[in-house]
Structure 1
């Protein structure tokens, strides 16, 4: 049994969608961040040492952190679900590229928008930090928009992978959803295709406000 520690509209959405897609047995533990549960001594001792969400307790009792790692792990754990190219598959290289791109390029940029205080040097810096991050997002989404320019629904063509689910999660986070959809119609098409999948839609329903 896997246990996912989660909170709404966070990086826990992709791992939750993978658990739904793969059919692996799992339990959900909602973390009450508003009440400070994620920063409690017990949570930081037993679940996530930095007091962040998500975390995934794997069947042997150990805990994984980092949403991208969880997403890759779960997709590989259930090959029959078809959400991860095999190591010998030529598509594996680009699959891993887009997973890491999401984690290393897109995710940190969104953190600067929603947690500008993490990057604050002086009082009053928050709006400047957010404005620069929004500009950086325009640049960061461009390679994905270009990769989908041939009309494909997913990054590797007609097959949906865990990378698409991970990227589609972050496509939900843009502060200007309407403008983003117009500026990145190809990414918007990927987003719609992912969240139309029944298992993914079920996970999104748990997260939607």
Structure 2
């Protein structure tokens, strides 16, 4: 498999999933602003959406949406329990979390990176995102991970959004102790550290 990624972008989520799954893969770095690959090729020829992540399967099939990509990865490594069994009640709970993260967090945090968005508009999106983080604070009470005691692909996605919020966008989550502890718990996982090191987000030990 091949993962097209940009360091620290939402492609960090499937990168974590691939490492947690123990699946072989190649990394291809993308300059999202220029829409170019490292070798100068046009990224839009790979993904006309112009976005990462893109996962290319060994069959040559392309998958381009993060929540779908991570489920495909999980289903190729069922022994790692990164997603519940298909059609199970728990699988639909995972889908609920993935949809919450992509629509309520990802799409509210994304505009905050815009250099042309007005400050009052940024304040609106930040306030909305904080409301979602407060919801998560309550949901994580007494749980190690979103689905309970088992790490799943939803946790890799939420962790990526928390990295955006705290490390890049200046969110103060200190008043949300469950969420702060959760972020630290996920960050301490060896495969999460490996993904971040490979993307240049952490210095190699």
Q: Report the TM-score when normalising by structure 1.
A: 0.86
1:172 aligned onto 2:166: no
Q: Which has the higher mean CA deviation after the structures are superposed, 12-21 or 68-77?
A: 68-77
The CA deviation string for residues 45-69 of structure 1, in whole angstroms up to 9 with x for no partner, is: 2x11121122111111121111111
CA distance in 2, matches of 1:130, 1:116: 10
Task: Report the RMSD for the aligned CA atoms in angstroms.
Answer: 1.9
Q: How many residues are matched?
A: 196
* Structure having the larger proportion of residues in helix: 1
Runs of 4+ in 1 over 6 A off after TM superposition: none
Map of 2:125 onto structure 1: 133
Deviation for aligned residue 1:75:
1.1
Structure 2 gaps, min length 5: none
Q: Which has the higher mean CA deviation after the structures are superposed, 97-106 or 86-95?
A: 86-95
Alignment of 1:64-75 (within 5 A): 64-75=63-74
Structure 1 gaps, min length 5: 118-124
Aligned 8 A contact 2:101 2:158 in 1: yes
CA distance in 2, matches of 1:90, 1:164: 18
Map of 2:179 onto structure 1: 187
Deviation for aligned residue 1:79:
0.5
CA distance in 2, matches of 1:49, 1:153: 38
Map of 1:108 onto structure 2: 107
Map of 2:22 onto structure 1: 23
The CA deviation string for residues 63-117 of structure 1, in whole angstroms up to 9 with x for no partner, is: 1111111112111221011111112543222211111111111100011111364
Map of 2:50 onto structure 1: 51
Aligned 8 A contact 1:84 1:92 in 2: yes
